[in-house]
Chains A and B, each alone.
Chain A
Amino acid sequence: MNDASPPLMKPPLPRILADRPEKMAARGVNIHYGDKHAIKDLSITIPDRAVSAFIGPSGCGKSTFLRALNRMNDTIPSCRMTGAITLDGRNINDPDVDPVQLRSHVGMVFQKPNPFPKSIFENVAYGPRIHGLCASKAELEQRVEESLKKAGLFGEVKDRLHQPGTGLSGGQQQRLCIARAIAVNPEVILMDEPCSALDPIATARIEELIDELRQNFCIVIVTHSMQQAARVSQLTAFFHLGTLVEFGDTDKIFTAPTDQRTQDYITGRYG
């Protein structure tokens, strides 16, 4: 599906990216939902070990593009994509790339906390188990503990690992979902408005967590909150009507955007 697209120029990297290794990149990506042209000729380079935030008004295509990064759009029959998305230079839409394998490298955290209606332990253990990452039970237990620690949840749940994950508070559930994503050792974590269903205190905890996780992962976060983007991200991409308007240092985007549309959005003209 990508062979037809013409050879594309690499988009110029924002200044700050120059010293950061590239993790994922998109070249001339177009996504259609049935008749709707959701993403129009989008190119972007996402660096490793940094938080990249996607902002923009509702329906601008930022979530659609995020879901293209781990081929979650494959599950939507009417969704078609052209162009190339690469992970470490490898096209993720190549026929010999298995979406199931891809998703263990590119994990995802969703808008609404969606723990499985199983125990906290089982929630985290599920990923390692289906991928056969742990040889023994002890190893699995250790990995669950580590993942929960990385997600900053272990202290709160260590006495009730075998109680249902759905019994936790909203913020804890979302951290459980992050632990579940971390447990399969991904390289990239995609977060689709992870705090939109949480209260400010839970949001603050998740934001702290994201900041810690950036030491080890490439994080892409879609958010509706410009303050959140400003707080957690090093890079910000502004989407508008299916196109990427501007991508660069978060500081620069919020203080001196080059595009008039970005300026209008961050000053609250629309969105």
Chain B
Amino acid sequence: MSSLNAQNPTLRRRRAAEARFRRYGAAALALTSLFLAFLIIDIVGKGWPAFVEHRVELPVTLDSRKLAEKNYDGLIKDAIFARFPEAQSRGQRKAVLALFSHSAEQALAAQLAEAPAAAGQTVKAEVLLSDTADLHLKGLSHLADPAAIDALTARLPVTAHFSWRFFSHGDSREAEEAGIRGALIGSLLTVAVALGLGLIFGVAAAIYLEEFAPKNRLTDIIEVNINNLAAVPSIIFGLLGLAVFLNAFGLPRSSPLVGGLVLSLLVLPTIIIAARAALKAVPPSIKEAALGVGASEHQAVFHHVLPLALPGILTGAILGMARAFGETAPLLMIGMVAFIADVPGSISDAATVLPVQIYLWSDLPELAFRSKTAAAIMVLIAVLFAANALAIYLRNRFERRW
């Protein structure tokens, strides 16, 4: 029995190799977790200020002439200067006005349209602070001359709020007003078009190739090329879209329609490959059983094989959609990179998408756009996580055992 506990050198080497392998694995895992944690902490740390905005309650006395002329800008300015009587020089006045957002006049107009007030009355207007004043209050960057902002906080109640504006507004040149609604809707429309087309053509192609197509040289070539297509750089699809959909077909530039068409080409190979794998995973005995009771090939596939493959197909489609959602390069080629302030109402309106919005914002000099960029990244990642979670849920929910 001596061989059972003997510590021979071969055994020791085997143990050492195993322990080493485990350490490598743990180290790799730790490193990736560290990177992920760093990424998330960095993005959340930079992005949180975009979800907070500062507003001030400004009493506005409605001068009858300016109200009649709808000179809301004048009303706001009067109200501001009434609170800063010491600001007399042009420079001082400019510094005071720079504390407030340009959106104040539209906000006042909207407020008065909703709750009309007579001339001579004083109404309380919620005025958004400008991006620089906002950043100063958040302690992120300090104004060169803090006198004006200190006077403002001393004289009027400045309060911090959750910035719904970030989700309800489109892009803007003014950092404090810029939101992701336009880009988010643009993304949803684009991905809806891409997924609709990609799913229909992808699943149809997969069913045909897997269940009906003769296995010959031609289908082999098609199969290899579908795999090749999945590896084509996405910008090539953008150029194709530019040449075909915009130049040849004359579809509207910058629209989610064209973006969706381009992205559907991009996700098509992914969906075909996933759908074929899902169809292949259905045991052939199920199809044989259907054929055995006299179902036609078509009935066997559509009554039995396809329903069983559906969870797998959906998982593939959602992963393809997640890829389309994060895609930037091909959309630059078809003009979805323009500054678009309006929220798109249909798939033929000019629009941009979330990743392109991130790209655009990351390029802007204003400091406030830095946090907007990080915040948009947070929203994008949240949507992608949600899509992946849905894919996992669907897979677990509908996966059948046989």
A residues apposed to B, CB below 8 Å:
70, 72, 75, 77, 100-101, 103-104, 107-110, 112, 114-117, 126-127, 130-131, 166, 177, 180-181, 183-184
Contact A77 B215 (CB under 8 A): yes
Contact A100 B292 (CB under 8 A): no
Contact B288 A101 (CB under 8 A): no
Bound-state CA distance A180–B297 (Å) is: 18
* Across-interface contacts of A117 in B (CB, < 8 A): 286, 308, 400, 402
B residues apposed to A, CB below 8 Å:
214-215, 283, 285-286, 288-297, 299, 303-304, 308, 400-402
Bound-state CA distance A109–B288 (Å) is: 10
* Across-interface contacts of A101 in B (CB, < 8 A): 294
Contact B304 A130 (CB under 8 A): no
Closest B residue to A98 by beta carbon equals B296
Contact B293 A110 (CB under 8 A): no
* Nearest CB in chain B: distance from A231 CB, A: 25
Closest B residue to A101 by beta carbon equals B294
Contact A114 B293 (CB under 8 A): no
10 closest pairs, A vs B, by CB?
A104-B294, A127-B293, A114-B285, A108-B292, A103-B294, A114-B289, A100-B296, A117-B400, A117-B402, A100-B294
Partner of A184 from the list B214, B286, B294 (CB cut-off 8 Å) is: B294
Contact A77 B214 (CB under 8 A): yes
Query: Other than the known A103-B292, A115-B289, A117-B308, what 13 A-B pairs have Cβ atoms closer than 8 Å?
Result: A72-B288, A100-B296, A103-B294, A107-B293, A107-B294, A109-B292, A110-B289, A126-B303, A131-B294, A166-B402, A177-B289, A180-B289, A180-B293
Contact B293 A126 (CB under 8 A): yes
Contact A107 B402 (CB under 8 A): no
6 A-B pairs with CB atoms under 8 Å apart are A75-B288, A75-B291, A103-B292, A103-B294, A116-B304, A117-B402
Bound-state CA distance A194–B315 (Å) is: 36
Bound-state CA distance A100–B298 (Å) is: 11
* Nearest CB in chain B: distance from A11 CB, A: 27
Contact A103 B402 (CB under 8 A): no
The interface centre, meaning the residue of B289, B290, B297 with most chain A CB atoms within 10 A of its CB, is: B289
Closest A residue to B304 by beta carbon equals A116
Bound-state CA distance A115–B293 (Å) is: 12
Bound-state CA distance A66–B197 (Å) is: 44
Closest B residue to A77 by beta carbon equals B215
Bound-state CA distance A70–B292 (Å) is: 8
* Across-interface contacts of A110 in B (CB, < 8 A): 285, 288-289, 292
The interface centre, meaning the residue of B285, B292, B299 with most chain A CB atoms within 10 A of its CB, is: B292
Contact B214 A181 (CB under 8 A): no
Bound-state CA distance A72–B297 (Å) is: 11
Contact B289 A116 (CB under 8 A): yes
Bound-state CA distance A100–B300 (Å) is: 11
Closest A residue to B215 by beta carbon equals A77
Decide yes or no: A181 and B308 within 8 Å by CB, A110-B285, A110-B288, A117-B400 being known contacts.
no
